[in-house]
Amino acid sequence: MSIQFLGMIGHRLASEIIPASGPLFDKDYIARFARAHEEAGFDRILVGYWSDQPDGFLVTAHAAAHTSKLKFLLAHRPGFVAPTLAARKLASLDHLTDGRLAVHIISGGSDVEQRRDGDFLNKAERYARSDEFLTVLRQSLESSQPYDHKGNFYQAEQAFSAIKPVQNKLPVYFGGSSQEAIDVAARHADVFALWGEPLKGAEETVRNVQAAAAQHGRKIDFNISFRPIIGKTEKEAWERAEHIRERAEKQLQASGFAFGKPKPQSVGAQRLLAAANEGDRLDKVLWTGVAKLVQGGYNSTALVGTADQVSDALLEYYRLGIHSVLIRGFDPLNDAVEYGQELIPLTREKVAALNTADKRSA
């Protein structure tokens, strides 16, 4: 199987080291950012979800209008749109993008974040709701006849969506590292998304998710997220990483970020923080400098080195059965362009060579 590369776009220029600039919904930047990913050879880009930011459906639609081959992964939190309506919205967007859409279901790892949009369920209840949401969503996307549904979170009578996705099946990605997340993913997900853990932790998660899916007679693919920092030499790459850490710390201090805040609720964040507490540099090129600063709060671990070294690291994750990787930089647009110059084609070459060698030895 070939390796898939995902990127991530935002609605304006901003990162841990770049103060936000331009209009909050910067149409020109969204278009340029999407085209940069397409030209760099990315397969798909993630459009994220935040409780105080522009609507991802519209960001995706605008980005799709300025690209032709690039696919999209739209993050969506259950609980704020009925699954019957979400199905019609997703199917409509899939038509608008000519069949280039997938959905990334995020149950929510922070009570504070969820409550901003009026959701006061606890974590276990959120995952139970996601389970039911995906059941109803799939029925609406695939059923040829009206159906009734009566569950704990949703009820519908004679529900039906006249519009279906262009694709035979809309791909479903699912995020979360808790046992509740794994249980839901085992029943519904096509792709299970991990944050950038060390090899040992990633291997453990892959094994656990595969075992859970097998109990339902299913197989799941995997995606993992990193923030590559590339240099012409190894020394240059690590110097660049330290510069990023310094700039990120200053920007966080200026924003009033609460350093040393309580242990994060998200199990994924807890796992990243635990890895960061083991040291700055793990495995060969995994760097936890920014992950430690943000308390593991999101996909913040980096792979640091030359393009050759980072591609070798990605190959090790590929060997674990993780055939998709999301990469985004601390200088978002410029890094996406840089990844397309060497890292992406070099990694594809190494994966192709590995697969050829495996076939010959089979």
What tens digit of pLDDT does each residue of 67-108 get? 999 999 999 999 999 999 999 999 999 999 999 999 999 988
List Cβ neighbours of 362 (8 Å cut-off, separation of 6 or more). none
Cα–Cα distance, 93 to 33 (Å, whole number):
20
Instruction: State the burial class of residue 301 (Cβ atoms within 10 Å of its Cβ: 0-12, 13-18, 19+).
Output: buried
Mean pLDDT score of the chain:
94
Over residues 195-223, mean pLDDT: 97
Listed in order, strand segments (DSSP E) in 302-354 are 302-305, 324-327
Q: What is the largest CA-CA distance in the chain?
A: 63
28-37, 102-111, 274-283: which has the minimum mean pLDDT?
102-111
Structure tokens at 289: 């400098």
Single pTM value for the model: 0.96
Amino acid making up residue 296: G
